Amino acid sequence: MSYPDPRDPRDPRTAHYEPGYDPNAQAYSQMNPYPGDPYQQQPPPTRSPQRHGPDINPTMFVGGVVMTGVVTGLAAWLVAWVLRTIVEKINEAGKFGVWNPMARDEIWFGVVGFLCALAAAALWYVLQLVTPSPDQFYRWIVGLLITAAVLVPLLLSAEFSVGIATAIVHLVIGLPILTLIPAMGHKSIRQR
């Protein structure tokens, strides 16, 4: 059996002969000044897998999105209900004739608001994965869709009152989606 040379500086038992030796330093015993040294085996450095996009807590994100959908749906339902109630009061008076500015039922607008929030959340997440400035693109896309959703009923409705009521409800659907979905997304990103 062969013993290592007691003067070999690579042998950890002879480290106290080296200049700068500090017996209290933990890092000194783990330091390897000679790469590839057969006396000291160090594991190869591990690399963490590359991840694209944000590290999102899925439970928090889905919960925030569902609640945004609930808020959007309730807001759309409430505004449609208020508009219908005002119109019924006006129709009861009979001074302006009988008219119905609501193209759809209140529940229909509530369901559409909820589904639009889910679609917007999917858009926000996809933009986080594939674009360099996702929040800018999200604001532009949703802003343009809200503008179209407000203008199309105004321009294409046979009755102007129907166009105004529908445009108001579409605006109420769009505003929470524009503001709440990015907020829920950013709040659900895990801090590294």
Same domain, 36 and 74: no
Beta bridge partners of 56: 189
What is d(CA 174, CA 105) in angstroms, rounded to the nearest whole number? 18
Same domain, 21 and 116: no
DSSP track, 25-86 = -HHHHH--SSTT-SSS--PPPP-PPP--S--B-HHHHHHHHHHHHHHHHHHHHHHHHHHHHH
Q: Determine, yes or no, domain membership for 91.
A: yes
Which pLDDT does position 43 carry in this prediction? 58
What domain range includes position 127? 58-187
Which H or E run contains 4? Answer: none
Looking at the structure of the chain, the number of domains it has is 2
Residues of the chain with pLDDT under 50: 28-29
Which pLDDT does position 66 carry in this prediction? 96
Q: Determine, yes or no, domain membership for 46.
A: no
Same domain, 23 and 102: no
> Please, which residues have CB within 8 angstroms of residue 54's CB and are 6 or more apart in sequence?
128, 185, 189
Same domain, 66 and 139: yes
What is d(CA 75, CA 69) in angstroms, rounded to the nearest whole number? 10
Q: Determine, yes or no, domain membership for 48.
A: no
Backbone angles phi, psi at 8, to 5 degrees: -70, 120
Choose among 47, 107, 45, 46: nearest CA to 80. Answer: 107
